[in-house]
Every structure is written in structure tokens, then in C-alpha cells.
Structure 1
Amino acid sequence: MAAESCGSRGASPPPLHPSSASGGAVGRRRKTEAYREVLRRIRGGAASGGARPGFDDELWAHFHSLPARYALDVNIERVDDVLLHKRLLEEAREPMNGLVFDVRCSQIVTVDGSTEVESSTSIKQEERDPQCSALASSDLRPLHEVIFACDDKPKLLSQLTALLGELGLNIQEAHAFSTSDGYSLDIFVVDGWKYEVDVLRNALSSGIEKIKYRAWPLVHSMPVSMGRQLLEDSSPADCVQIPADATDVWEVDPRLLKFEQKLAAGSFGDLYHGTYCSQDVAIKVLKPERVSVDMLREFAQEVYIMKKVRHKNVVQFIGACTRPPILCIVTEFMRGGSIFDYIYNHRGTFQLVDVLRIASDVSKGMSYLHQINIIHRDLKTANLLMDDKVVKVADFGVARVKDQSGVMTAETGTYRWMAPEVIEHSPYDHRADVFSFGVVLWELLAGKLPYEDMTPLQAAVAVVQKDLRPTIPADTHPMLIGLLQKCWQRDPALRPTFAEILDILQSIKEVVQSSGRHKRRPGPSHSGQR
């Protein structure tokens, strides 16, 4: 949404002399001055909440995310308005909201035949242009200030102004501020409303719900009655069809989801930490603008697989929202994060006893999946999550139920962990997961990215054409070296099953415990190239 303003002197910063500070520096100075003044007033008792831990950082983040024009235009004498803008933007950032608003009355006062304005609007009085404002009139007319905060979507501003027009409101001023993270704060000063402000609020709410349902993937603020009506009006053809082979009740009411923190962002979806019925959960939300027929098929397959799975070493499926435009998958939240993140972002390392424990947990989860004919197809450290010393297999976005033939041919997975038969588009089965497990086990031992000196494609070519494997650290236990080499066999038939891997790991654990060898010591490396 483009930043627009009627009568906003701050719409274009004044030109700077070449020798003066850069526009960025000037903008930051404006924001800093406004931030400090608002903070001073809050600490002086102008508003509550300023003593809360972290409030200063939150307030600065609010000013920092908005353009310098906001700091110049906003009426910082009205601290509660600044806090209202901050709160509305925070609410809009929750995917279940998308678009939030507030409305209040601003009274015009006529003094000695001239029109003045009580300082009761968010934008400074001196910033208004009389030629485009009702403030030039000598009539005593009530003004209302309508404030929207929303995800910055194309054509949304026109939909909001059209809504105001439909309610008989005349826009006297419009101030739109786009944030640096893709949201918009839109402030309208309007006249033409003759009734109570609560009546206006209800009328706006009704119109906004219609806009939200068309534009946002998740709408937890819709009234219960409207939500029920939408669900009742949806025919089976309107839903993503999930193959039904059980009687589980797993459809999640999106209004019961609360989003707290974005954990990761991808091209096709975002991952959030939140709560569902007071339970900590992870919520994977598909981006509606990126949804395609193929993506719906993948989404349906993932839900189909996850609702079949129940094992202590597989991330627990809680439910899913499957009614477009609401598409998300809800699982238990693993506070320890991924092993990939622990190794590469936190520089964590594992002792041998931890390596054996993690490898055993992964093997138990994978053995279970293979027993119920599920091939993961993307086993890697990024898809292994930790919590309370338990490791669980996660992310079934490309997993498949093995068909009657037991073989597949699609190239699926991540190159650095991919089995050679998958890279070559040859038929493959569950033993492709065993190869990937071998790479994961090597990562736990080496603490490095597989083939880190190569691009993913170069690594894939070398694995197929040169039979390349990662270089095994020299201090690796001989029995672990043997296990790695078995998992990496070019011929899938020679690779062990996960049940056999569990037996091998248990034997290694017993040998290590009896010898007292719990730690790996640095030394020269064994070559993993066969």
C-alpha cells in the first residue's frame, strides 16, 4: 500500500544540503526524538505500561518500523494514541487477525466564529491543510478518527476507503504509513456520522469481516456466528480433500489458535510458535498467494500422513485447518529447536553418548515410519527436533505412503542428504532414508555441513559419479565407522534396516560403556570416500 497523506507536511522530507546528514540519518534522528519524548511522557505518568520489562525496546521497534514521516506527523502529546498505533500493528502481525481497527470521536469546537480543533486526533493540528479538511468549515460537526492496521496488501486501501464511503462517511484526511516489515497503519479523519460511536464501530466491524475473509488466510477475530455460518455454507468441494481412513477429529478451529512468534519464513509458508487450547504448538501456515494445485496436493498428503502417526520419536500432529483460505498444520512445539540450528547457528557439539542417544531416537522414529509404510524422503538435521533430551522426526511435507510396488522415482529431498538412486531418478524405496540417516549420523560426529566446500548440486554429482561420501573424523569409534559405511552403500539392498541399525547402536553403546570411552578426541580424519 503506497504511503498517502492529505495535508501531511511530512509526506516528503525537506531537501538536504549535500554536506548535511543523509536522509537515513535525518529520519533516524526524527524517530529518536519522537521516541524519547513519548517515553519521557509515559514515565511521567501520561500512560501506563511503561515500567514493563522490554517496553522501551518495543516502543523503539514501533518507531523504527515506521517511516520518519510518522515521527514527524504523529501527535506525541497524545501518548495513548501512539500506544494505540503500536498495539494495533502488533495485533495485525498475528496471522489470525490480518486487519484490525479502532474508531473514536474527535470533537470540533467553534470559538468566536472561527473553527479550532481540540487536540484529540492522532495527527498534529498544524500538519493539516485547511483546503482538504473539514476543519476550514464554520459548522460545528463531529469528526471521527478511524485507524486501521493491516498486512500491506495491494488494493486494500481502496477497499477500506470504499467501505467508509458505503457507510456515508466523508474522508477529510487520510494518512497511510507503511512499515518496514510489510504492514500498514492507515489513519482516516472522517465526518458524516450522526450516531453513537459504538454503532459506527459495529458497522465497520461487519464490513471489515467481509474484507478479511476474502483477503486473509487466517481470521481468528471473526464473530463466532459468522464463523459458524461460513463453515455451514462451505460444501465439501470447497475444502482440501484429505483421504479419510480413520475417525480422528483433527480439524482445528482457527479462532482457537494464538500466534506468538514467527520461527521461520519460507517461499511457500511460515512457521510460528503459538498456543492451541492453552497447549504450546508449532503452526505451519501456507501463504495463500503461493497456493497451487500441486501445493494443495502436498498439503493434503502431509495431513494424511501425520494424522496416521503416533510415536514418541515422531513430532505429534495436533490438527490442521483445511478450509481455504485457511491452510495450516498444527503440531506439538519442540522447545529445543532443530539439530541443524544447534550445530550451525549455536555452534553446539555432541559427546559420543549424545550421538548414540540421538541416533537411537531417530532410528526408532524412522523404524516406526517404515513399519507403517511411510517413506520420509527428506531426512536431515533440519527435520530433527529436540525437547527434554528427546529427538523427534519432523516435517512430512514430501513424505509418501509406499505403494504396493514399494518403489518410487520422483527426485525429492535435499541434495546433501540425498541417496544416489534418488539423485539419478532411479526407482527407490525406504532404504533411501537409510542413506540420508548415514549423512545425519556423520553430521552429529563431525559437526559440519556435508560437503561444505561444494554447492549442493556439485555434491550430488560427486555422490553419483565419483561415489563421494563425507570424510569420517579419525576419532570416530570403529563400530560407528562400520555403520556409516553400511548406510552409505551404493546398492540399497546392502544397507541395513532401521531395526538393524538400532541393534548396532545398542551394541556400540554397550561397548562404549564398558570401555569408559564417552568422549571423542581430536585427531586426523578417516576418508569416507569409497
Structure 2
Amino acid sequence: MYMGDTESCCNSKVVLGSEWYQNGKERQKIEVYIKVLNRLRELNVHEAMVSGFDDDLWAHFHRLPTRYALDMNVERAQYVLMHKRLLHIARTSATATGPALEVRLVPVVRSASGVSACSNSLHSNSQSEVTPQDSEIQGKMMRHDYLLHCRHMHEITISTNDKPKLLSQLTSLLSETGLDIQEAHAFSTLDGYSLDVFVVGGWAVEETEKLKHVLANKIQKLEERSQLKENGSLPLAEQEKIRMNIISRHVIIPTPENGVSTCEASWFRFEKKIASGSFSDLYKGTLCNQDVAIKVLKQESLNENIQREFSQEVYILSKIHHRNVVKFIGACTKTPYLYLVTEYLSGGSIYDLLHKRNTVLTLPSLLKIAIDVSEGMKYLHQNDIIHRDLKSANLLIDKTGVVKVADFGVARVRNQSGIMTAETGTYRWMAPEVIEHKPYDHKVDVFSFAIVLWELLTGK
């Protein structure tokens, strides 16, 4: 639909068919649109001077209900641009780095009639018509109320895919965050998106950025849960692909400068599942064109103990660097998407080499494997780390034949007393004192290493 540039700017007229003016509500929307357009150009807003902006602005108003236009405070027309931006982010969510969200401080007046936004709020109902006498009386009352009762609250604007019960979900989310909702404005667009505006109390005014960060995380999880639920009827392979695309947005990688940094989702790809266990799945993928192994904890199996062990594994791997220990790449430690990224070792495990490929080792090959394992374990023990599950399946081979110690799921940093009693590991490689729940230390890894040597020698 074409909007005449000269007429809309200079004469406040719009080139539209007469049928638009037959609809009173649409006429009101057009009038507000013209006022907003003129106001933006009066303010010399750069975006408003770009060719075709008037068409884009009308498309924005046209998608939204008339109530949106009537709620608009024309003096604060710049916030229409923020709404346009949030709706654009919502429409392109497949490539967005986070939810479409804006949080800002607004002054509000608390009076006997309740809470109302001050004049610089976007939804201050500035379109109401009053007589000059009423205006003077109301002005005095408002100034009195303002001086006595004006304080700042947060205005939260969210845009996302429109869906049933969305407003209820968002209000619950805000309440769970500890926010007290004072006002709520919900708008649905013609193309299936929502624009929801809340005025809330209950959060320190000096922590606006923190509130935005907290809400962004919560809204993203809400959207991902909805996406997974909506795709529950798809074939399993398609569900798995969607799940992997979602969790790949959360990867964190360590850097020498500051410990961790965010990795762009476009750098991170899942390729195929290579193993599955009781509590996790293992995938081959790529990160920044590097082959990686991704251990993903199963959401249905998550409990406090598993999460604690996962955190311990991430902590240990992030602190160790050795040629004979699997290299840590990154991790996501935010529930419900817990996963660990390490280098991908294409040679498989020593267990596969001996028991699936039935390889008979020469003495030099056997000694090389044993030396690699002993070097890796020596480094771990020097750093007070007890593996507690050393076995041939947890010894992996890279493309050059180097053997590396892997899987630190039950590893522990030795405490000051150096004594532990928990039974953990795999029975065939487990030291007697562990099986009998007697106190033990790093020497249990030495026993397990002896079993590995027996495997290498006998092939059994």
C-alpha cells in the first residue's frame, strides 16, 4: 500500500481509498499514524528520513489493532521504533541471539485511583479529549499527585510468536521473578506475533540491565519449551534436530583472558549421535570447523546428584591441560540444557580396539599405550585429581595414535584428608577397597591401571 510522501509529511493526509475512511476505527489509526510520522520527522530521527519509512511505519500500525494506536503517546513517538525493532526480532527469531525484549525505567504516579504512567510513558492515554476547564483542574491535580507520589518503575516490552495462553505465561513468569505487575497491555498482530507491555514494581531501579538479563534467560527457556512441545508430534529424527539446534545456542567456551565467552550458534553444529547411556547421549559435531564430541545430559534423567557430578566434571576438565588428557572445549551449565564439549578423538577407545576390532597389539604398541596412560594419570594425581573410573573404554585414541584419558564424570579432587569411601566406577576395574566401601585415595586408580595392562596383554 502506497503512502504519499509529500502529503503525509506536509499536509497530514494519506493517499488511501475512501473505504478506509468508512471505518471509524481505521480512521483513528490513520490519524495517530500521521501524528507519529510527523513527530518523528520533527525530531529529525534518522530512520524517519529514509525513503520508504512511511510505508514501513504504516505496515507496523496496520498489523496491530486500533487499540494500540489509541494507547500511543504521540509525544513519545520514538518508542514506536522500539516496537518495530522488537517485532522484527521476533519474526527473525531463527537467527536472533536472544528474545525480543526491552526494559526501561518510567516514572509513575500512585494516587487514590491507582497507578498511572507519567507523561513520558508510551501508554499514557494522551489521546483522551477533555475541555479546557477540565484540563486545568486535572492538570493541578496531576501536578500535586506527581510531586507527592511519582516514583520509577520498570516498563517491560516483549515480542514473540502469538499463541494461546501467552499472556498468562508471561504474567506468571514476571510474578515468579518477584515482580509486581501494575499495568499490562497485550496486542496481537495480523501476522501472528504479539507485543506485550508491562509496568512492574518490585525490582531495584538501579538494576535495570540485570532485570533485562534475568528476563531474557527466562523468556528464552519459555520459548524453547514451547517449541519443543509444539514439535512433539514430528518424527523423532526431526525432533532431535530441533532439540540440537536449541541447545547449540548456549555453548560457552573458555578463554585465557576471562575464563569463558559466548560462542555464536552458527559456529556450532551437531552431526550424529555416536553413543547413548543411561544419563547422557554422545554426539559428534563441529565448533568453529573443529571436530568435537558433545556429551548431552538427558533432561528426563536430571536430578541433584547428576547435576552435581556434571558440574564437578566441567570444573575438573576446565583446570587440566595435558597431552594425554582429553582436551576441554566448552560447556553449558544452565539447566535444562547441560552438556560438555571436548575434542573429538577419531581413533575410538582402547576397549573397541581390543574387543570389537580384535586387534592383537605388538609389544611396542602395547608399551606406547601404557606410557601414554601412565603419563596422563601421573599428571592428574599431581594435581590431586582421582579419576575413579579408569578403564579401557575411557581411554581414547586421536588421529595420530596418542592415547588420552577421558570421561571425568565421577572424578574428584582429593580433599584435605585424602580419604574417600563412596563406591563408584565399573566393577571389573574397581579396587577392592572401593567395592568394600573402605577409605581410599589415588591408589585405586593404580589398581584400575593394572587391570588395563592385563587387558592390553591378554586381549580379554
Using the size of structure 2 for normalisation, the TM-score is 0.47
| Larger Rg computed on CA atoms | 2
Greater strand percent: which structure?
A: 2
Larger RCO, structure (CA 8 Å, separation 6 or more): 1
